[in-house]
Structure 1
Amino acid sequence: MLIKFPYGKAEIEVDIPDRNLLSVLESRKIKPPLDSYSTIKNALINPIKHRTLSEVANKANKICIIVSDYTRATPNNLLLPPILKEIEESGKNLESVKVLVANGLHKPAPENELKEILGEKILTQVNVINHDAEDYEALRYVGRTSFGTEVYVNETILDSELIVMTGLIEPHFFAGYSGGRKSILPGVAGRDSIYQNHSYKMIAHPMSRYGVLDGNPIHEDMVEAAEMALKEKGYIVNVVIDKNGKILKTFAGNLIEAHRKGVKYLDSIVKVYTPKPADVVVTTNGGYPLDRDLYQSVKGMATGKSVIRKNGVIIVLSECIDGIGRGHEPFYRLMAEAKTPENVLERIKQEEPIKDQWEAQVLAQILTEAHVILVTRNIKHNVIEEMHIKPASNIEEALEIAKETVGKDSKIISIPEGPYLIPAVSLMFKSPQHNMLRGVND
């Protein structure tokens, strides 16, 4: 069966023999609205558990809009125009607005990436600030969560009377879902706050995984931090998009309630099931921009882990045009300096905090349970091998390595959308061989 997998801004077609194909897991197809502007506008004037954006903007003299950075597919170029229009119609001048890029621990975006993230017109309309988690002169302390996280956030939001947080609601491999509270922590938080939230103990918790909010300590810690920083001045504008990047629905209003409604809607699209685990999973990191580097590609590997048998093979197609990842040398060193994945976990436990330890921890845990093959031409094979991953230049080579590892009669699950899906094994779920399993509700 020919299956298309996103790879960078293109696709790779893969021919998987029918005799081996267990299932193809895909999201439920929904036709996106023709007019995204009207969809966003409607959400702004009909918010969830909140006053309209125009009403709250009218009473605010200083407004901050938090936007996602270059690693996210958030359509800021579509979200910002109706948001700014609502602010102007409330009687406020755009000089009162600052846009804060939520870089988290990522490197601040250069000018060319700001243009890509926001659009050139936005850069001329408002003052844009790059958050830097290392710049403690621009951070302020707001308190300590019940999990022990000392919360430092960018002073821009504390000086503002209204904080609008744009974002994308999608599955997240340890926070459960992106969007909502993640705009604050890790988005505009200080380095040490992020380290504490992403600690070994927090990442190792069994509820810190895709598709889980209740009982997830990372999520709950983020919520506490966000509420401390926002002090009821927050207003989210989050979207759910399809695999082509088109907005399906917009959720605006209350930080918690609007995000929860968005999560429920997303679940109806991306939660899918297979009757048994696979010997081999072929997946991706969702294409551009999430597959820009190996650091982010751990997310696709984590998706594969959800439906792989013990000692099975996870194949991830990821372009990795930025190699290991800009500024993520510590991630490489953590993996490469250890003799085994188990040694990685031991080192993190003993030496934390270490930059990028959470990504290394997730990857190392996957590698203790499965083999991982990375299909890319943008990282030298010896570098990939040093990180305990098997390299392949193309999918055919990867499938051959998998066959040598688990046998020629291995059963394969295909997940073209990678980390944009939440797959699981359900013994109660029966399906024909290589049936398209789309958006089954739990």
Structure 2
Amino acid sequence: MQVELEYGDGHVTVEVPDDAVVVSSDRTDHEPEPLADPVAATRAALDAPLGCGPIADLVGPGQRVTIAFPDRVKGGQHETAHRRVVLPQLLDDLEKAGVAPEDIRLVCAIGLHRKNRWEEFEAYLGRDTLARLPRANVVNHDAEDPDGMVDLGLSGLGDPVQVNRAVVDSDLTILIGHTAGNPYGGFSGGYKMPATGLTSWRSIASHHAPRSLYREDFVPVSTRSRFRDQLRAIGQRMEEVMPQPFFSVDAVLDSRSRQLGVYAGRIPEVEQASWPLATARTDLRIESSWDGPADVLVVGIPRTFHYGPGMGSNPILMTQAVGSSLIRAKRALVDKPVVIAAAVCDGWFNSTEFPPYEAAFERLQACQHPADMVQHQEELATDPEWVYRYRHHYGYHPFHAFSMVYVGGIAREHSSQFFLAGAKRPDLARAMGARTTATVEEALRETAAALGRPPRVIVVPALSQPAFHLTAGGAGTS
């Protein structure tokens, strides 16, 4: 049968076996129904939080409040998107509690992503909502601000905890989060939100690193991993020095970023309450005409998706997309599957948004294994030019390139062969460890010849859309 895969700035039609399982991102037959009234559901969650009292019981006149919210990468910008719905209700509650607008600070929890522009804040938070606060009180987290960061020493697991000063200086810190499927530790939201969105590169490098990512408990995707334990320990170290623990408002999102459920309160209780629903949305037991796991994962990689333009052309980001796809699909695949990715890989690094990536790519060529890039972290992650572009010119932080290299290395660690089909610069694909072919069909033929039989194939055509975490089922199961 023919399937359209995302590729470059459009699509490419490929022929796959008739019995291939195609996992469309708009598949909703197993998903819970979205909330009929997400505004009312958010109000109900805020009025009856888990593990603590409502906001009016936690803060009052003269006290300072920080509200941290996710950046543009995920969550949607529609009128009833979670950020857009919850923020005005939080401001209403704080106003009723007597907190002055000038004592409320909004922090975009970008972590090491590029800073968001004001018009982007307006697009996903709402212009009228932002007008309720002084403009100077709406800021991006800056992991390199010497006055804006505070060092809290080590977490209970020995990782550095360097966090935005507003988190510990405020009388209450509220987190707006998305409980959505994520290859990094299972789900976004919860303790992952402050541990990755409000910390320094050194804190993030403690878990976005080979010593955590290449453990057996990281692949397939799981909330029961050393990585997830590290996030929790970092967040709990923050709470030890905060006036009170985080107040979290997390929404479980469906494949169209609509709310399936909204939960508010202390993070442990919110995680416990939201993860079962998020699992029902995210985990997909595939239906096939064959028994057992698949031999091959085929993915289509567009030029642009959640991190920004260049994901299908920048070889580091392209390979990260392959690694993260393998993390999500591993339970549906044989122990050492073949991965076939269709990507334009034309060498456009997008140096405006990803300024240090070409330098990181050059260092990678001198390494035997992606894990060896650890020796270059300090040099590039502290380079004044790259740090300046992160702080002042809307570029990703230099360490971000390393975290992407390491996840890309998972494609090497957990596959028997990684094909890159349709690369305009096959030399760059080969430099990332891929075997290059002109077409997906050619890669499938080579795989069939190596197996000595037709391969069992799973196809994920669109990586630009929210993904599922796959599990193998028996013949005819779903």
Which amino acid counterpart does residue 268 of structure 2 have in structure 1?
A: I
Tell me how far 1:4 sits from its aligned partner: 7.1
CA–CA distance in structure 2, aligned partners of residues 306 and 116 of structure 1: 37
In percent, how many aligned pairs have the same letter? 18
Map 1:212-361; keep pairs closer than 5 Å: 212-214=222-224, 216-230=225-239, 231=242, 232-274=244-286, 275-283=291-299, 288-289=305-306, 292-294=309-311, 295=317, 297=321, 298-309=323-334, 310-315=336-341, 327-331=353-357, 333-335=359-361, 337-338=363-364, 342-345=368-371, 347-348=372-373, 350-352=375-377, 355=399, 356-361=401-406
Alignment-mate amino acid for residue 51 of structure 2:
K
1:411 to 441, 456, 467: 456
AA aligned opposite 1:72: K
Aligned residue identity for 2:31: K
Offset of 1:311 from its aligned partner? 5.0
State the 1:154 CA deviation.
0.8
- Please say if 1:421 is aligned against 2:465: no
Segments of structure 1 that go 5 or more residues without pairing to the other structure are 438-442
Cα displacement (A) at 1:180:
1.1
Tell me how far 1:107 sits from its aligned partner: 2.2
Classify 1:330/1:72 alpha carbon distance in 2 versus 1 (closer, same or farther; 3 Å): same
Distance 1:195 1:223, change over 3 A: same
Q: Do the aligned residues in 2 keep the contact of 1:301 with 1:316 (CA within 8 Å)?
A: no
Q: In 2 relative to 1, CA 161–267 (structure 1 residues): closer, same or farther, beyond 3 Å?
A: same
Correspondence list, 1:28-427, <5 A:
28-58=30-60, 61-73=63-75, 75=81, 76-126=83-133, 127-209=137-219, 211-214=221-224, 216-230=225-239, 231=242, 232-274=244-286, 275-283=291-299, 288-289=305-306, 292-294=309-311, 295=317, 297=321, 298-309=323-334, 310-315=336-341, 327-331=353-357, 333-335=359-361, 337-338=363-364, 342-345=368-371, 347-348=372-373, 350-352=375-377, 355=399, 356-368=401-413, 369-372=415-418, 383-389=428-434, 398-407=439-448, 409-415=454-460, 420-425=467-472
For residues 318 and 301 of structure 1, what CA distance do their matches in structure 2 show? 19
| Structure 2 unaligned regions, length at least 5 | 312-316, 382-398
Match in the other structure for 1:440 = none
Asked if 1 retains the 8 angstrom alpha-carbon contact of 2:296 and 2:337, the reply is no
Cα offset, 1:352, TM superposition: 4.8
Offset, 1:130: 0.8
Q: Residues 234-274 of structure 1, C-alpha deviation per residue, up to 9 Å, x if partnerless?
A: 10011111111111111111111102221121112222235
Say if 2:156 and 2:237, in contact at 8 Å, map to a contact too: no
Q: Is the 2:283–2:469 Cα contact (8 Å) retained in structure 1?
A: yes
Identify if the C-alpha distance between structure 1 residues 106 and 263 changes in structure 2 by more than 3 Å, giving closer, same or farther.
same
Is the contact made by 2:254 and 2:281 (CA closer than 8 Å) also made in structure 1? no
1:125 aligns to what SS in structure 2? coil
Name the structure 1 match of 2:388: none
Evaluate the alpha carbon distance shift between residue 285 and residue 268 of structure 1 in structure 2; reply closer, same or farther with a 3 A threshold.
Answer: farther
Q: Give the letter aligned to residue 262 of structure 2.
A: T
CA distance in 2: counterparts of 1:19 and 1:203, whole angstroms: 35
Partner amino acid for 1:431? A
In 2, Cα distance between equivalents of 1:141 and 1:200:
24
> Normalized against structure 2, the TM-score is what?
0.76
Go from structure 1 to structure 2 and tell me whether the alpha carbon gap of 1:387 and 1:40 turns closer, same or farther (over 3 Å shift). Answer: same
Pick closer, same or farther for the CA change 1:48–1:391 going to 2, 3 Å: farther
Q: Deviations over 1:131-175 (max 9, x none)?
A: 111222210112311322121111111221111101111222232
Give, in whole Å, the separation in 2 of the partners of 1:335 and 1:404.
Answer: 31
Between stretches 155-164 and 407-416, larger displacement belongs to 407-416
The AA in structure 1 aligned to 2:103 is S
Contact 1:107 1:326 in 2 (8 A): no
Measure, in 2, the Cα distance between the counterparts of 1:121 and 1:318. 41
Change in 2 beyond 3 A, CA 1:280/1:208: closer
Query: What is the deviation of 1:371?
Result: 4.1
In structure 2, do the counterparts of structure 1 residues 410 and 325 end up closer, same or farther at CA, with 3 Å as the change threshold? farther
1:174–1:209 contact (8 Å) kept in structure 2: no
Aligned AA for 2:255?
K
3-state SS of the aligned residue for 1:185? helix
Matched residue, 2:396: none
Residue 67 of structure 1 contacts residue 166 of structure 1 at CA under 8 Å; is this kept in 2? yes
- Structure-1 separation of matches of 2:292 and 2:113: 37
* TM-score of the pair, normalised by structure 1: 0.82
Give CA deviations for 1:365-412 in whole Å, capped at 9, x if unaligned. Answer: 3134244456899x86654454344679xxxx6432332431383322
Count of paired positions: 423
Q: Which amino acid in the other structure matches residue 300 of structure 1?
A: S
Q: Deviations over 1:297-355 (max 9, x none)?
A: 353353245534425123367999x956865454555455545985323x235555562
In the alignment, the residues of structure 2 paired with residue 52 and residue 145 of structure 1 have an alpha-carbon distance, to the nearest angstrom, of 29
- Out of 285-294 and 303-312, give the one that drifted further: 285-294
Question: Quick one: structure 1 residues 138 and 376, their matched pair in 2 at CA, closer, same or farther if it must change by over 3 Å?
Answer: farther
Classify the secondary structure of the residue corresponding to 2:442.
helix
Residues 41, 82 of structure 1: 8 Å contact kept: yes
Distance 1:284 1:307, change over 3 A: farther
Alpha-carbon distance, 1:30 to partner = 2.4
